[in-house]
Amino acid sequence: MKKFLTTTLLAGLLASPVMAKDFIANTFYDAQHPLAKYGYTEWAEIVKDLSKGDLNPQAFTGTVLLAPRASLQGIRDNVVQVGHHAAIYTPSDLPVANAVQELGFNYSDPVAAIFAVADFSMHDATQLAEWKKQGIVYLGAYATPPYILMCAKPVRNLAELKGKRIRVAGSAVSQWVEEAGGVPVNVPSSEMYTGLERGTLDCATNAANDLVDRSLMEVAKYTTLLPTGMYWSGPNWGYNPEFWAGLTADERKVLMEASARSMARTIINYKAQAEAALVTAKEKGVEVYEPEADLKASVEDFRKKTLEEVYDKAQDTYGLTNGKEVIDDFRATMDKWTALLADVDTTDEDALTDLAMKTIYGDLDPATYGVK
């Protein structure tokens, strides 16, 4: 039935040419997930308002159009004109984005991360070349709160983690799980619930909001507040180049402004939902633990190791010939945004939007950015 509906929907959407004023936007996250609700559903309304109705994105959430691993190809092939893509699902296509994601274990501020990643991704020459090569125009970032452990059984120390099958995303956290004695399982976040329910997973690493947004508290009754990294690899809004080139400069400027505001709104609410989900989960009987000393120390030791190895990984694992230059640019951009936000109310959507427009998009010319 789902296959029939998907085929029928795609046929209907692609039967007639998609005009610049009416286009398809897609994220594989479910509708209530912050990256879908604020990054796509509400983003679409922001685009309509800023363009005074001239641009009319049709926002699709979930996997009805594209599975997580297919989103990059879907953007390239113009199945969707703009989409979210998590680069960890396509490391061979996006080695630069995955190389800088290796540092996800080493940062814990999602507000600084979302703007720093967008800034880096639209200004670093090597990263820009990668987007162009892969057939997307990058226009804005996502970032998650720190991932934590949500488990079917208590995992409070290294002894309890040993042998546990843990859903992970990305190579860095996989390496940590292995070194800590667990078994990493790399599956999309959309498969966490069924994995925990059927026993093919013992734990999942993801942001705390998924206890509620994806109902994980029904199958994961034990949560450990162990930060296991943040995720930001790939575009939250990646545009098909031909569609982007067919827009006017004014329309591209609207989409830049919509990205700036949506990044601010998304990260403010993502953080708030993660915090609220922990409260709700406790009220519903989920046990929430602080990690014991040995488990916490394993993460802290791994962070140090990551910094020591990240340059070699950029070259040896991801094939970057200028890996040190790229990693140093990324780290400098993160430092820049940590400083920029030091005196800013990071719950003020307008303040964050203004800062993003000035600092990230201010020197991008809508007439030329992303145009072949």
Domain positions in the chain: 2-143+231-269+309-359, 148-230+276-304
Q: What is the pTM of this model?
A: 0.88
Domain at 2-143+231-269+309-359, CATH class = alpha beta
Amino acid 9: pLDDT: 47
Residue 130, C-beta contacts closer than 8 angstroms, at least 6 positions apart: 94, 95, 96, 97
Sign, CA torsion 290/294/296/298: negative
Tell me how far the alpha carbon of residue 348 is from its chain's centroid: 21
Read off the DSSP letter of residue 157: S
- CA 13/CA 33 separation, integer angstroms: 24
- CA 122/CA 225 separation, integer angstroms: 33
**Cα-based torsion angle of the residue sequence 158, 160, 165, 168 in order, rounded to the nearest 10 degrees:** -50
Q: What is the CATH number of domain 148-230+276-304?
A: 3.40.190.170
Measured over all CA atoms, what is the biggest interatomic distance in the chain, rounded to whole angstroms?
Answer: 60
Q: Distances from the Cα of 307 to the Cαs of 100, 245, 259, in angstroms?
A: 11, 39, 31
Measure CA of the first residue to CA of the last residue in the chain; give whole Å. Answer: 41
Amino acid 189: pLDDT: 85
Amino acid 188: pLDDT: 85
Domain pair 2-143+231-269+309-359 / 148-230+276-304, same fold: yes
Residue 24, C-beta contacts closer than 8 angstroms, at least 6 positions apart: 13, 18, 57, 58, 60, 65, 79, 80, 81, 82
- CA 121/CA 96 separation, integer angstroms: 10
Residue 342's CB is within 10 A of a number of other CB atoms, namely 9
Amino acid 260: pLDDT: 98
Q: Distances from the Cα of 220 to the Cαs of 56, 144, 149, 323, in angstroms?
A: 39, 20, 9, 39
- CA 326/CA 125 separation, integer angstroms: 9
For 205, the 3-state DSSP assignment is strand
The answer to whether 79 and 95 have CB atoms below 8 angstroms apart is no
The answer to whether 194 and 220 have CB atoms below 8 angstroms apart is no
Which residue in 363, 265, 269 sits closest to 44, CA to CA?
265
Residue 7, C-beta contacts closer than 8 angstroms, at least 6 positions apart: none
Amino acid 172: pLDDT: 80
Tens place of pLDDT for every residue, the chain, 372 residues?
444 344 444 444 444 444 448 999 999 999 989 999 999 999 999 999 999 999 999 999 999 999 999 999 999 999 999 999 999 999 999 999 999 999 998 998 999 999 999 999 999 999 999 999 999 999 999 999 999 999 999 999 999 999 999 999 777 889 999 999 999 998 888 899 999 999 999 999 999 999 998 999 999 999 999 998 899 999 999 999 999 999 999 999 999 999 999 999 999 999 999 999 999 999 999 999 999 999 999 999 999 999 999 999 999 999 999 999 999 999 999 999 999 999 999 999 999 999 999 999 999 999 999 997
- CA 334/CA 229 separation, integer angstroms: 15
The answer to whether 333 and 119 have CB atoms below 8 angstroms apart is yes
Amino acid 7: pLDDT: 42
The answer to whether 55 and 21 have CB atoms below 8 angstroms apart is yes
Amino acid 16: pLDDT: 41
Q: In which region does residue 182 sit, left (phi positive, over 0), alpha (psi from -120 to 50) or beta (all else)? A: beta
Which residue in 114, 326, 112, 123 sits closest to 234, CA to CA?
114
Q: Distances from the Cα of 349 to the Cαs of 11, 31, 70, 111, 228, in angstroms?
A: 39, 21, 32, 11, 27
